[in-house]
Amino acid sequence: MSGPLRVVGQSVRRLDALEKVTGRARYVTDLELPGMLHARLVRSPYAHARIVRVDTRAAAAVPSVRGVAAAGDLTGCDPYFGPAFRDRPMLAVDVVRYEGEPVVAVVADDEAAAQEAAALVDVDYEELPSVTTLEEALAPGAPLVHAGQPLAGHFADLSTLRAKPGTNICHQFDFARGRSAETLAAAPLTLEDTYTFPRVQHYSMEPHAAVAAWNEQGELTVWASTQNPYSVRVELAKMFGSPLSRIRVVVPLLGGGFGGKTYAKLEPIVSALARMTGRAVRLAISVEDAFRTVRRCDARVRVRLGFTRDGLLVAAECDADFDVGAYADIGPRIIQKGTYTATGPYRVPHLRLHSNAVYTNTTPGGAFRGFGVPQLAWGVESLLDEAARRLDRDPVDLRRQNLLAHGEEFAPGDTPVDGKFEESLNRAAQAIRWTQGAAADRGRGVAMMMKASIGPTVSEAMVRLHADGSATVLASTVEMGQGARTVMAQIAAEVLAIPVERVTVATPDTAITPYDQTTSSSRSTTMTGRAVQEAAADVRGQLLHVAARRLGVPAAQLRLEDGSVVGGAETLSYPDVLRERFGMGGGELIGRGIVAPGRSAAALGGSTPFWEMAVGAAEVALDAETGAITVEKYVSVADVGRCINPLLCEAQDEGAVMQGLGHTLLEEMRYDRGQLLNANLVDYRVPRAEDLPPALECHFVENADGAGPFGAKGAGEGSLVPVSPAIGNALTRLTGVRLRELPLTPERVWRALRARRPTKT
Amino acid sequence: MTLLRPFALDRPETLEEAAAVLTEHGGGAALYAGGTELLLLMKEGLVRVQRLVDVKRVRGLADIRAEDATVVIGATARHRAVEISALLRERCPLVAGVARHVANVRVRHVGTVGGNLAFADPHSDVATLFLALDAELVLWRRAGERRLSLGDFLLGAYETARRDDEILTGVRLHPWPAGTASAYLKFGVHERPTLGVALAVTPAGAGAPAAVRLSVGCVGPKPQRFPEIERQAARMGVAELAARAPALAQAAADAVETASDLHGAADYKRDMTRVFVRRAFEIVAARAAGEEPRARYPYTVIV
Amino acid sequence: MPDTRTPSSFRVALTVNARPVTLEVPAHALLLDVLRDRLGLKGAKRSCDIQVCGACTVLVDGAPVSACTFLAVEVDGCEVLTVEGLADGDRLDPLQEAFMQHGAVQCGFCTSGMLMSARALLNEDPSPTRERVAHYLRGNLCRCTGYRKLVDAIVACGNQGTT
């Protein structure tokens, strides 16, 4: 396609804006099905215990209760699910492995009855020794969260999972090149330190929810607040022994996801309850229960870096332990992704990276924006600044010296670096006025990151051009706020040369919208977007072909413009072309796009289709007496190839930065021996409007160098990652004190400052 | 989500009626006004209530009025009403000012002063400030009415001296004399304040000696006054107050009772007491000298 | 479905979005559930359920309340305004336009509550500063936008002097 872009690159209003501002937008919890029942889960109060006795008689006796089930009552299905290990039961089987694990389900005519009945369920437990920290879980002879080897799941990159038998390590990842041990030993400067990243929770404002119903033909439909309907579908098909064609997953709008709604969560139990009762069943959990459903994997990362006197980074070693909680969820992939790019955007000839996925008796850890990379970047980018200090080098300069170049290989067989790190770094440095020293009471810090998306993956899409020249896009990308549906409409509108208002994007529905692997890993614009682009191009090809035949000119002479085929003696509108094609005022042209890059020789078994890259620069002030950090200015630069919708990109990155601010300054899940103490919004502190830095800038580098449509790459996760090391580095430059633990709450900073000056009162 | 369990609701129009219901239903009945604390407890299953006694229709219970030198805030007056009360803005401007920062705007529109005090949440700006105003609570029951100082009313975290058959009808505040310089500082990163400091410095006037009132709250089970420090400080002029602020603050930190919770560890709260009492003295000394200090601190509200 | 076990039942007569409504509600019914389940007004959302996040914000006689922790019996004789009542037919409230224009909407789950709080703020203070807006929104959380565009939108509405 030649010529300037019409719709792509414009900040068109998002497709769902009007319904959201008028309160008409519908989420799973807004759905009402005739005869729908309401479910409640009874959860374990213990971190680790044997289930001795379950008494549901009083619960079952509550009027309008339609069913009460413990694990043994869910017959005719495999109770276990999980994308890496099928280790997680819908309802606990014999043993509970974390405080909050569902044990019994109650179904009733209304919420009140379900709540009342749930309170009457009586469960006797025998407490078992538990491990609720990495230290406890990794100690020799530690009690095991899972006895016996769990079963493997269904993804290519997770087809071999390496547990360490007899321990709580369920998977290990190694990546190495060169001779890191020798190089480190010989390096003029080596540094080593250990950093920890906290347990935090997504707090999507809409907690998880699902409605399930089986029809008379034994087909299951689930309306789910999920980011990957196709993953949920395959999970349900396995559990219930159904062909995929008889499982349908529909996804209306999500009230936030951030990774917490990837892979099956509530859908299995709701489906089982629907089958048990023969009715539609709805399960909408509370925010408190969302904290007991999924969280980010906390991690402890030991980093070693080796430099020459000139500042060349020659060797790196990382040993990371990730706490995946009681059930692995996608933890094994998280440790791979997080560790693979541990060294970020730098050229490091010798490295040894190792990470463990460790079970503990706590809320299962799962995907969360950044997917393991924030945990590693917190450590590596902090130690990098320490290296700068030791080498008496400017931290920006030291980074610049070691950056991978555009087009350079990251790892054999993997996608070459498809962005210009230096450009991003320079823009961030300029925006924060790095070379003009900070005021005496301010500190500045910078951090960079690089992240692989996932591969190989498959995205398919269809575009239907209707008889009146309007179009419908069928793609299973889920709308969770990021604006993906709008982006797909823009791509189709661009290719088809029609107004974006004439493009409808169908609700993701596995019965209707074709396969898309997942809405996560920042992949949708690139992968599903390309599928949509291809599908629209397929329609364009058909339009040109029919028009060419009718006009008697080669198709190459024709082009699409304003809903018509132009370039011949006559201009044919799309309705004209369809009438030509079908001989009547009906019919439609259907285009198809399939994006399925194959496996490569790269370490994770598949090329990432693009690298997500971002830089963060922070300027902070400190109230040293209280330890309170104020972020006065934050600059984010993301190299995204092309912003299909600049306003949406900026909105995403502002949100990413603030969410990063959350785990950097405010958020942590507090546990006391396996009991979660602050699973509510009074005691778990997420960012508020008042936390917005006075100056927040989100910049984009657009060199159209991505594999996605119009040169786009992915966005949405990258800008979150540098927040904690940038602020940590800024704090250190201001105070000379280095904190290795997040969040940097006032109290934590206060303690660190006092530890430095023991005589200060 | 949590729904409320069914309960009965009475809406008496007099205190006598309210008392009758309380007596008849004993421990199963609870007084209800704004519900911002009570309904939460009921949702969380921490209290089981069969009957709510809504006292919002009792005449006069929401009034904010002057009674000679005192200002009386009715128990069911909303925080919002306190915020915009012309009487309070004139007589107790700090009370109106602090009301603006209680919780969030929705709680301010619905929650009541009486409910706040009766709930005795340790993290209460209202209680902390009112202690410095020598607040007296008016407790009514059929046998009669009594007044209890706030200090005697608050026994500890979520614990008050209210008898089961008593109804809190109002709070009597003793506005500081004209010429008093004062400030309220509220610090905390969490949803509830980690610390609150109320400080009022009254210069010696016609027939009255100088007085200093210092209250520190939110750091322990209940807010505290510091009679010794107040006496010392009362003997100082404005300049000396500013100069001795660190020492006065250290004394407060030594004397304050703190408790660890999710909003801060005990030692941190103790040190923050030192920091913010000092800052309060600095601000009040400046105000006493006719200046408005421009210092701002993160996560700190200065009224 | 009406709960026939409730000891007390109350008749409430109110207006919702300027329309008269009469309902029988048990004492323990929460305003949020009555709005959503009995009146079909799904705009107000349940999120934190403890009055902190603001997703359930509606206006009762102009005052913002947390419908998740507000008894339905309290709205007898009141005017209740929900997000569905902000627009006048096809004419959107300037706040709704501003939210769309400034990119202040992402997942949308906080949007209803944000709009109602913003509407209450502008009714009280037609031209708020950024600081005032941020303070007023202390009780309205958003996990997607990072707040910048929300504050932009509300301030922009204010500067135009529209109410």
Q: pLDDT band at residue A352, thresholds of 50, 70 and 90? A: very high
Chain C residues close to B300, C-beta within 8 Å: none
Find, in chain A, the residue whose alpha carbon is nearest to that of B278: A625
In this structure, the answer to whether residues A537 and A655 fall within a common structural domain is: no
What pLDDT is recorded for position A157? 67
In this structure, the answer to whether residues A571 and A488 fall within a common structural domain is: yes
Kindly determine whether residue C83 and residue A205, on different chains, have CB atoms separated by under 8 Å: no
Interface contact B106, partner C, CB < 8 A: yes
Question: Is 70 exceeded by the pLDDT of residue A512?
Answer: yes
Chains that touch A (3 or more CB pairs under 8 A): B, C
In this structure, the answer to whether residues A435 and A481 fall within a common structural domain is: no
What pLDDT is recorded for position C163? 43
Q: What CATH code is carried by the domain that includes residue B45?
A: 3.30.43.10
**What digits encode the pLDDT tens for the residues A54-109?**
999 999 999 999 999 999 999 999 999 999 999 999 999 999 999 999 999 999 99
Chain A residues close to C154, C-beta within 8 Å: none
CATH for C94-159 (2.60.300.12, 1.10.260.40, 1.10.10.10, 1.10.150.120): 1.10.150.120
What pLDDT is recorded for position A759? 43
- Does A650 participate in catalysis according to the annotation? no
Interface contact A216, partner B, CB < 8 A: no
Residue A133 lies in a domain: no
Interface contact C52, partner B, CB < 8 A: yes
Query: Which of A590, A407, A607, A603 shows the shortest CA–CA distance to A526?
Result: A607
**End-of-domain residue from the set A290, A325, A359:** A290
Residue A143 lies in a domain: no
B148 min Cα distance to partner chain A (Å): 31
Residue B298 lies in a domain: no
Percent of chain B with pLDDT over 70: 100
Residue A239 lies in a domain: yes
Residue A186 lies in a domain: no
**What digits encode the pLDDT tens for the residues A179-200?**
999 999 999 999 999 999 999 9
**End-of-domain residue from the set B156, B173, B190:** B173
In this structure, the answer to whether residues B104 and B17 fall within a common structural domain is: no
Q: What CATH code is carried by the domain that includes residue A233?
A: 3.90.1170.50
Residue A561 lies in a domain: yes
Q: Is B110 helix (H, G, I), strand (E, B) or coil?
A: helix
**What digits encode the pLDDT tens for the residues B81-138?**
999 999 999 999 999 999 999 999 999 999 999 999 999 999 999 999 999 999 999 9
In this structure, the answer to whether residues A461 and A391 fall within a common structural domain is: no
Question: Average pLDDT of chain B?
Answer: 95
**What digits encode the pLDDT tens for the residues A735-748?**
999 999 999 999 99
The domain of B221 spans 181-289
**What digits encode the pLDDT tens for the residues A457-482?**
999 999 999 999 999 999 999 999 99
Kindly determine whether residue A253 and residue C99, on different chains, have CB atoms separated by under 8 Å: no
Q: What CATH code is carried by the domain that includes residue A512?
A: 3.30.365.10
What pLDDT is recorded for position A147? 85
Kindly determine whether residue B36 and residue C136, on different chains, have CB atoms separated by under 8 Å: no
Long-range CB pairs of A422-427 (<8 Å, 24+ gap) are: A423/A639, A423/A701, A423/A703, A424/A448, A424/A613, A424/A614, A424/A615, A424/A637, A424/A638, A424/A639, A424/A701, A425/A396, A425/A399, A425/A400, A425/A615, A425/A637, A426/A400, A427/A615, A427/A637, A427/A699, A427/A701
Residue A742 lies in a domain: yes
CA atoms of B11 and A397, how far apart (whole Å)? 72
Which one of A626, A685, A748 would you mutate to disrupt binding with B, by most B Cβ within 10 Å of its Cβ?
Answer: A626
Kindly determine whether residue A18 and residue C140, on different chains, have CB atoms separated by under 8 Å: no
A49 min Cα distance to partner chain C (Å): 29
Termini Cα distance of chain C: 39
Residues of chain C with CATH 3.10.20.30: 9-85
Residue B189 lies in a domain: yes
What pLDDT is recorded for position A600? 60
Structure tokens at A761: 């009162």
Structure tokens at A444: 């500045």
Percent of chain A with pLDDT over 70: 96
In this structure, the answer to whether residues A377 and A269 fall within a common structural domain is: no
What pLDDT is recorded for position A602? 61
In this structure, the answer to whether residues A530 and A549 fall within a common structural domain is: yes
The domain of A93 spans 31-128+202-290
Residue A116 lies in a domain: yes
**End-of-domain residue from the set A246, A264, A290:** A290
**End-of-domain residue from the set A541, A564, A595:** A595
The larger pLDDT score, comparing residue A568 to residue A722, is at A722
What pLDDT is recorded for position A580? 95
**What digits encode the pLDDT tens for the residues B44-61?**
889 999 999 999 999 999
Q: Domain count for chain A, please give it.
A: 3
Q: Domain count for chain B, please give it.
A: 3
User: What pTM value is reported for the model?
Assistant: 0.97
What pLDDT is recorded for position C3? 32
Residue B249 lies in a domain: yes
Kindly determine whether residue C6 and residue B191, on different chains, have CB atoms separated by under 8 Å: no
- Whole-Å CA distances, A562 to A3, A493, A552, B201: 14, 10, 21, 75
Interface contact C86, partner B, CB < 8 A: no
B101 Cβ contact list (under 8 Å, min separation 6): B125, B186, B301, B303
Residue B70 lies in a domain: yes
Residues of chain C with CATH 1.10.150.120: 94-159
Q: pLDDT band at residue B2, thresholds of 50, 70 and 90? A: confident
In this structure, the answer to whether residues A659 and A555 fall within a common structural domain is: no
In this structure, the answer to whether residues B20 and B84 fall within a common structural domain is: no
In this structure, the answer to whether residues B39 and B115 fall within a common structural domain is: no
CA atoms of A485 and A472, how far apart (whole Å)? 11
Residue B261 lies in a domain: yes
Find, in chain A, the residue whose alpha carbon is nearest to that of C115: A21
In this structure, the answer to whether residues A90 and A239 fall within a common structural domain is: yes
Interface contact A748, partner B, CB < 8 A: no
What pLDDT is recorded for position C160? 67
In this structure, the answer to whether residues A483 and A398 fall within a common structural domain is: no
Chain B residues close to A38, C-beta within 8 Å: none
Interface contact C66, partner B, CB < 8 A: yes
Mean pLDDT across A580-597: 93
**End-of-domain residue from the set B34, B54, B74:** B54
Kindly determine whether residue C28 and residue B104, on different chains, have CB atoms separated by under 8 Å: no
Question: Is 50 exceeded by the pLDDT of residue C6?
Answer: no
Rg of chain B's alpha carbons, rounded to an integer? 19
Residue B190 lies in a domain: yes
Residue B285 lies in a domain: yes
In this structure, the answer to whether residues A442 and A473 fall within a common structural domain is: no
Chains that touch B (3 or more CB pairs under 8 A): A, C
**What digits encode the pLDDT tens for the residues A651-697?**
999 999 999 999 999 999 999 999 999 999 999 999 999 999 999 99
CATH number of the domain at C9-85, please? 3.10.20.30
Question: Is 80 exceeded by the pLDDT of residue A151?
Answer: no
